[in-house]
Amino acid sequence: MAESGTLHDAFIDELRDTYDAERQLTKALTKLAKKATNPDLREAFESHLEETKGQIDRLEQVFGSLEEKVRGKHCDGIAGIIEEGKSIMEEDFDEVTMDACLIAAGQRAEHYEMAAYGTLVAWARALGHEEAADLLQETLDEEKAADEKLTEIAEAGINQSAADAANPGDEEEEEEEEEEKMAMAGAGAKKGKAKAARRR
């Protein structure tokens, strides 16, 4: 009977998967940055692209610390997420709506990475690979920060602008409501005066 795999084998496998995911993401982040209209968003994608290149180097250091060959293994999960992002980019949306969608696509990728690195850190610690664990933790922190940055950018105006573009009638309606209220208040004031006059 063949010897069954251990957590160490699963750990190396997960590292290879993540190494491949990061390499796929460098291409995807380049596309996201090009497609973004909001300058803060473009900047966030570009700076995370640079960070991602550093994460690839860091993974190579992790392989080195374990005396393992640097090797990737096709990551189907991130490929699917990137594929979804590509189809969103082909949609016919106005600029701000597209930006909101690019953030959604980017955050899917960051959460996938956070799950992967969370597992890698935990397994590295459990297996006693402290150097690897520290390196992987650094990347996990970067992925979390990248995700938070995207939330900040979305909440700083992109989501609201996209929502306003989706409901262009809302502002008019609000104005009409305001006018109606003013008219009613005016009528109320007149009624009040009339009552006061009658009382006299």
Binding site for Fe ion (CB under 5 A): 22, 52, 55, 113, 143
Assess contact for 43 and 155: CB atoms under 8 A.
Answer: no
Smallest distance from Fe ion to CB 18, Å: 8
Smallest distance from Fe ion to CB 41, Å: 15
Q: 3-state SS of 77-96?
A: HHHHHHHHHHHHHCCCCCHH
Write down the H helix ranges in the chain: 7-35, 39-65, 76-89, 95-126, 130-153, 159-166, 169-199
Smallest distance from Fe ion to CB 29, Å: 8
Task: Name which of 99 and 143 has its Cβ closer to Fe ion.
Answer: 143
What are the structure tokens assigned to 65, written together? 């610390």
Task: Name which of 38 and 55 has its Cβ closer to Fe ion.
Answer: 55
> Identity (one letter) of the amino acid at 199?
R
Smallest distance from Fe ion to CB 166, Å: 29
Task: Name which of 89 and 114 has its Cβ closer to Fe ion.
Answer: 114
Task: Name which of 33 and 96 has its Cβ closer to Fe ion.
Answer: 33
Contacts of residue 103, Cβ cutoff 8 Å, sequence gap at least 6: 41, 150, 153, 154, 158
Task: Name which of 20 and 143 has its Cβ closer to Fe ion.
Answer: 143
Smallest distance from Fe ion to CB 147, Å: 8
* Separation of CA 135 from chain center: 22
- Give the integer Cα–Cα distance in Å for 58 and 70: 11
Smallest distance from Fe ion to CB 175, Å: 43
Q: Within a 10 A sphere around the Cβ of 54, how many other Cβ atoms?
A: 13
Task: Name which of 120 and 162 has its Cβ closer to Fe ion.
Answer: 120
